[in-house]
Amino acid sequence: MLPVLVAVAVLLVLVLVVLLVVLLRGRGAAPAAAPPPRDPFAAEDQAAGDPRALKAGDMVEYLGTRYFVRGSLRLKEGGFTWSEHLLDADTAAGGKVWVSVEEDPDLEVVWWTEHELGDLKPGAKTVVVDGVEYRRDEHGTADYTSEGTTGVGVRGRVEYLDYAAPGGRYLSFEQYGGGAWEAGLGERVPNGALTIYPGS
């Protein structure tokens, strides 16, 4: 009977040693590192695909309609750069729009439609269009290069006057190479509303 008691005692000691080793190893293990803090407005959350990389041949889907990127303007004023892209709808009715992409400092994507100039005159401090009051925001002259089909020369200069209204709405006047003024109305594209399908 004594050999059985010794065997049970040895077995109990071994079990206690194994439990003690397992517990001590568990305590010594470093906890999993928490992910670093992220900017909730970071560019990678803006859209499916990177709008800063848009180019002729890409396809863009917005509000259920697909558009093909016909061409791009790369603009530069001092050290500041941005892009504007001519899109053509993949529908029987067609329809051309522009989308601008800039970082100032956050990524901002704006959907632009042409607007008849009519009696509008660029330069006023405020302009009212369709009951919305826009306030002058920026005025400048930028150099541009054109890629694909844009309707302007390969290189040149553009003067612009940009206006802003509450709710992410914009009015822009542009004059390419000293030609006639053109007007466009813009709306900020909400995060995740734009999907980009890169071309070849």
Domain parsing of the chain, residue ranges:
1-31, 43-197
3-state secondary structure of 76: strand
Does residue 40 have a cis bond before it (omega within 30 degrees)? no
pLDDT of residue 46: 45
Cα–Cα distance between 136 and 121 in angstroms, integer? 12
pLDDT in tens, the chain (200 residues): 666 555 556 556 566 666 656 666 666 555 667 777 665 555 554 447 889 999 999 999 999 999 999 999 999 999 999 999 999 987 766 667 999 999 988 899 999 999 988 888 899 999 999 999 999 999 999 999 999 999 999 999 999 999 999 999 999 999 999 899 999 999 999 988 899 999 86
In a 13 Å sphere around the CA of 111, the CA atoms on its Cβ side amount to 16
pLDDT score, position 15:
60
CA dist., res. 133 & res. 127, Å (int): 6
Predicted pLDDT at 38: 60
Longest dimension (CA), the chain: 112
Q: How many CB atoms lie within 10 A of CB 193?
A: 15
Contact 99, 109 (CB under 8 A): yes
Picking from 113, 54, 124, 45, the residue whose alpha carbon sits closest to that of residue 83 is: 54
Of the candidates 172, 194, 200, the residue with the CA atom closest to the CA atom of residue 184:
172
Res 170: pLDDT: 98
Close Cβ partners of 156 (under 8 Å, ≥ 6 residues apart):
143, 144, 146, 176, 177
How many helices and strands (H and E) does the chain possess?
Answer: 1, 11
Q: What confidence score (pLDDT) does residue 27 get?
A: 62
What is the model's pTM?
0.75
**At CA 81, angle to CA 102 and CA 110, rounded to 5?**
25
What pLDDT was estimated at residue 24?
Answer: 67
**CA 182 – CA 160 distance, rounded (Å):** 9
Radius of gyration for the alpha carbons in the chain, expressed in angstroms and rounded: 30
> pLDDT at position 28, please?
54
Q: Side chain identity at 88, as an amino acid letter?
A: D
